[in-house]
Structure 1
Amino acid sequence: MSNVDIRIRKTESLATPDELIKKFPVSEEIASSINLSRQVVNDIIKGRDHRLLAIVGPCSLHDRKAALEYAHRLKDLAEKVKDEMYIVMRTYFEKPRTVLGWKGLILDPNMDGSYDIGSGIAIARSLLLDIVSIGMPVGCEVLDPIIPQYIDELMSWSSIGARTTESQIHRNLASGLSVAVGFKNSTSGDLSNAINAIQCAYNPASFIGMDRSGASTIFRTTGNDCCHLILRGGDNSPNYYEDDVESARNMMIKSDLNPAIIIDCSHANSRKNYDRQKRVLRSVVDQVCWGEKAIKGFMLESNLICGSQKIPSDLSDLKYGVSITDGCLGWDETERILIRSCEMLHRSFQGDGQSMPL
């Protein structure tokens, strides 16, 4: 009688990253565009580019058609605001859960608990490829440490979530990722775990993982000097105000870190009310206009249509363009507040110093 894998019900083979990359290849032209967008993001984090990094998009992606429509709209908007903002589309395929819930398109693409992960990874890579092909940079949250081997060459920015910031596995992974990585503060609001994570990721690390051929491999990293802090609030207490940013900046400087901060306009900063995101953005822009150099950007949860919906038993009842996870701002409001924010920033950079309400 075997005493191995006694709680494993079934195993299934999975395509290797190399196999999927051959199926959905990245052309030299697209690779060059991604490298350029990565450099812009890095320059913003490092303070070499004065623009704000704007991570904008749905809380999670679940519908290919809606995601591509959103990407095309966002690409047009990015051109309008390019002098003051550099937009990266939020393309989240993995959703960490406190207890239960839909875990994202990669793990459960059919949204029915069937967990067709192989199809989910293929859908994610092909969708990212379609989005970057129109010139829209993408950013993802890294949750499963193996998934980056399938999609990392397509990303221009990445984040580590509040629930995984303390994980040594994710800190090691961030130290070897080819993109800038933002660490969110803990769900409690504590900043020390995220700052410790940034320090760890700045330094070289060695860890075990899977390479693109599917083989177990030891990765030895150089360290990632473009890591930064994401303030997302905690325990329903926002932390985007001036005093909060000042405290975070001073903590990073004390730890000999580049004081680069991105403000998450959603989650606890908006008290889980998607419409309050514009209040957070207004504060962010106002602080930047008044000279806060540590703020390098913001995150905004936005979709084609505002609000959210539960996954129905009959998927044909899903509303098009509406989030199935956290509530999002609708497109019209997203466009309005981003353009207005750029007007405020432009006035500030021109020396006016005046701001006007969103």
Structure 2
Amino acid sequence: MNSSVSALPLSTLSPANESLTLRLPSSLQLKQQLPLTHALTQQVAAHRQAVRAILDGHDSRLLVIVGPCSIHDPESALEYAGNLARLAADVSEDMLLVMRAYVEKPRTTVGWKGLAYDPHLDGSDDMAAGLTLSRDLMREMLQLGLPVATELLQPMAAGYFDDLLSWVAIGARTTESQIHREMASGLSMPVGFKNGTDGGVTVASDAMRSAAHPHRHFGVDSQGHPAIIQTPGNADTHLVLRGGHHGPNYDRASIAKVHADLTKLKIPARIMVDCSHANSGKDPLRQPAVFNDVLEQRLHGDRSLIGMMIESHLFEGCQPLGSPLKYGVSVTDGCLGWSSTEALLRRAADQLRAQRTSQ
């Protein structure tokens, strides 16, 4: 892994009771150091178009965003990606599998914020190394032939990865943010807005309507300068249901209500279900039950259910940060293990194939 880009010299050293400022390389500098080949650029464009085709109903495959809750160890992440790439090739006629490469994590209070922030897992917050490591890792995943997805949490970080991504999530806590809606309106890939933590879809519906429109907003250009950003609007957005404080929202009654709400607002009914979080009661081993329920709804004719999201790693469960860490086990939310994930997706592909060939 290439991690030679470091923070630029200290620009401001303030008294102890004030903030400290350390300059980072610009997104342009990092992209120039770790560029995409023409072939990979074309691959990303093709994957983005494939996701759009699923959203628009022109591609009947199921979209599945799958991978670790967060990536903390590049070696285990690449092993997982290799497994997923082989499975993706086997089920490609019925599913589009997208690697979940989350390098930023929202925190309710404090805690580890992700690989892009603290790649050494020790609180040193070497963000220059984190951005470099994250970009290099995503490039290696692309080289395996996988589409890559992430949640964009810090808009300033988006420019370091935006050319690598085929799908982006805006999380439950940031869907209401005007800044994230403006950012989404300028992204060149499909974006899934999660419902709010209350379980309702009003906030996400407002976000999709906002992101579809052009915006002018404050931002940072590729060279790191403050700039006025003008965006064209993003028509390729959709809803991600993740449950809420009152429980799951993937059941038939909840989906029917979401349909009615979206129709009333004249928003296309394009729904992905996050099988984790409140939908699974935060129990990673309940994700297959959620997945299978949603799959059954789709097999019975609800084509608005365009996809699912699964938190999955090499081994199930989670562990606290510390030493020594178990290889291939999440350090944030608990995950489904790879063997269970593979079995779940292969069974689903068989069911989808059977329905496709019988029609």
- Name the TM-score class by shorter chain: over 0.9
What is the identity, as a one-letter code, of the residue corresponding to 1:63? D
1:78 corresponds to which residue?
A: 88
Aligned equivalent of 2:194: 184
Alignment match, 2:212: 202
1:60-75 equivalent positions in 2, closer than 5 A: 60-75=70-85
Unaligned runs of 5+ residues in structure 2 are: 1-13
Match among 349, 353, 356 for residue 356 of structure 2: 349
Residue 66 of structure 2 aligns to a residue whose secondary structure is strand
Render the CA deviation track for 1:168-226: whole Å, top value 9, x for unaligned. 00001101111100000011111100111001001111111111111111111111111
C-alpha distance 239-324 of structure 1, shift in aligned 2 (>3 A) = same
In the alignment, the residues of structure 1 paired with residue 137 and residue 18 of structure 2 have an alpha-carbon distance, to the nearest angstrom, of 31
Q: Tell me the equivalent position of 1:216.
A: 226
Among 274, 293, 300, the residue aligned to 1:290: 300
Give the conservation status (yes or no) of the 8 Å contact 1:236–1:269: no
**Alpha-carbon distance in structure 2 between the residues aligned to 1:310 and 1:6:** 31
Q: Percent identity at matched positions?
A: 43
Distance, in Å, in 1 between the alignment partners of 2:17 and 2:188 is 36
State the Cα distance separating 1:351 from its structure 2 match. 3.6
Distance 2:171 2:308 in 1: 15
Q: Which moved more, 1:8-17 or 1:175-184?
A: 8-17
CA distance in 2, matches of 1:249, 1:133: 38
In structure 1, what is the equivalent of residue 252 of structure 2? 242
Q: CA deviation at 1:62?
A: 0.6
The aligned residue for residue 106 of structure 2 is 96
Alpha carbons 1:55, 1:300 under 8 Å: kept: yes
Structure 1 residues 5 and 185: CA distance shift in structure 2, 3 A: farther
Which of 130, 135, 143 does residue 120 from structure 1 map onto?
Answer: 130
- The alpha-carbon deviation at position 257 of structure 1 amounts to 1.1
Give the counterpart letter for 2:303 in structure 1.
Answer: K
SS of the residue corresponding to residue 150 of structure 1 reads coil
Q: For residue 341 of structure 1, report the CA deviation from its aligned partner.
A: 0.8
In structure 2, the CA distance between the partners of 1:66 and 1:174, relative to structure 1 (3 Å rule), is same
User: 2:165 is matched by which residue type in structure 1?
Assistant: M
- Which one is further off, 108-117 or 32-41? 108-117
Query: How many pairs were matched up?
Result: 346
Per the TM alignment, residue 44 of structure 1 is displaced from its structure 2 partner at its CA by 0.6
Tell me how far apart the structure 1 counterparts of residues 209 and 17 of structure 2 sit (CA, whole Å): 37
**How far did 1:8 drift?**
3.5
1:338 to 345, 348, 353: 345
The reply to whether residue 138 of structure 1 matches residue 148 of structure 2 is yes
Q: Structure 1 residues 7, 231: CA separation in 2 closer, same or farther (over 3 Å shift)?
A: farther
2:343, 2:196 → 1: CA distance?
A: 31
- Which AA in structure 2 matches 1:119? A
Q: Is the alpha carbon distance of 1:246 and 1:30 closer, same or farther for their aligned partners in structure 2, counting shifts above 3 Å? A: same
TM, length-normalised to structure 1: 0.94
Counterpart of 1:288, as a letter, is R
Structure 1 pair 300/72, CA: closer, same or farther in 2 (3 Å)?
A: same
Distance (Å, rounded) in 2 between the aligned partners of 1:6 and 1:149: 31
Q: Deviation string for 1:103-135 (max 9, x for gaps)?
A: 111111111111111111111111011110111
> C-alpha offsets along residues 147-178 of structure 1, whole Å, 9 cap, x if unaligned?
11111000000010000010000001101111
Q: Gaps (5+ residues) in structure 1?
A: 353-358
The answer for the alignment partner of 1:154 in structure 2 is 164
Counterpart CA distance in 1 for 2:275 and 2:334 is 12
State which of 172, 177, 183 in structure 2 corresponds to 1:167: 177
Q: 1:7 deviation in Å?
A: 5.7
2: distance between equivalents of 1:155 and 1:8? 37
Secondary structure at the aligned position of 1:155 is classed as: coil
Q: Secondary structure at the match of 1:151?
A: coil
| Alpha-carbon separation, structure 1, partners of 2:15 and 2:303 | 53
- Whether contact under 8 Å (1:285, 1:344) holds in the other structure is no
Amino acid at match of 2:137: L
Match of 2:237 among 221, 227, 246: 227
CA distance in 1, matches of 2:97, 2:277: 20
> Secondary structure at 1:62's aligned position in 2?
coil
Q: CA deviation at 1:293?
A: 1.4
Residue 338 of structure 2 aligns with an amino acid whose one-letter code is W
2:161 partner SS: helix
Give the ranges of 4+ consecutive aligned residues of structure 1 lying more than 6 Å apart after TM superposition. none
Counterpart of 1:80, as a letter, is D
Residues 159 and 184, structure 1, Cα contact 8 Å, conserved in 2: yes
Counterpart-to-counterpart distance in 2, 1:7 and 1:179: 42
| Contact kept? 1:106, 1:121, Cα under 8 Å | yes
Q: Does the 8 A contact of 1:205 with 1:221 survive in 2?
A: yes
Map of 1:329 onto structure 2: 336
2:116 partner SS: coil
Residue 48 of structure 2 corresponds to residue 38 of structure 1: yes
Q: Provide the TM-score with structure 2 as the length reference.
A: 0.94
